[in-house]
Amino acid sequence: MDHSAIAVRYAKAFFATAKEKDLLEILKTDIKLVFDVCNESADFILLLESPIVKTSKKSELISSIFKEKINELTLSFLLLIATNKREVHIPGICRNFLGLTRKDQNIKSALLTTASEINSESIKKIEELLGKELNATIELSTKVKPEIVGGLILRLDDKQYDASISTQLKKIKQELLESELK
């Protein structure tokens, strides 16, 4: 079976359970924690992917890592995944679950790349403007990339608006080269 199909199926099932039991916010926080552990701990990923470690040991370790930190339902879900020998899909399941909750709550993720650091007041204003324009709640993260020289690059879902000076200079250079060839 396709890896992404497995992750989507488990995520949808857990999402439906969260909505049904009216625990979406609590379980979203839990899954975010698990996802952060997956992203920050190479050892945890090695544990999940290891064919040598027995399923019972993986379940025991997952339980000891998360027992006091997450809801009992989330822990049961993680242990079910491990019992079904699908633990390697936990990061994908978390990513898909978080995507489903963002979609359900009309939250859009955006990445703003600038040449230099911008203040939190400007970030809040950009979030508000985007929120009004898109009629959604915006989760804006920022990134500093000095090589864009100036301007900004805004990435929203799968679209990108590039108003950076470096891109404008590349376009001008390309136009000059093309006109020179004629």
How far is the C-alpha of 89 from the C-alpha of 79, rounded, in Å?
Answer: 12
Dig out the tokens for 13 from the structure. 């099932």
How far is the C-alpha of 13 from the C-alpha of 10, rounded, in Å?
Answer: 5
Spell out the domains of the chain, with CATH numbers in brackets: 3-103 (1.10.520.20), 107-181 (3.40.30)
Handedness of CA 7, 12, 13, 14 (dihedral sign): positive
> How many of the other CB atoms lie within 10 Å of CB of 21?
12
Q: Give the predicted TM-score (pTM) of the model.
A: 0.76
pLDDT per position as a tens digit, 109-165: 899 999 999 999 999 999 999 999 999 999 999 999 999 999 999 999 789 999 999
List strands edge to edge, sheet with 107-114: 137-144, 107-114, 151-156, 159-164
% of residues, the chain, pLDDT over 70? 98
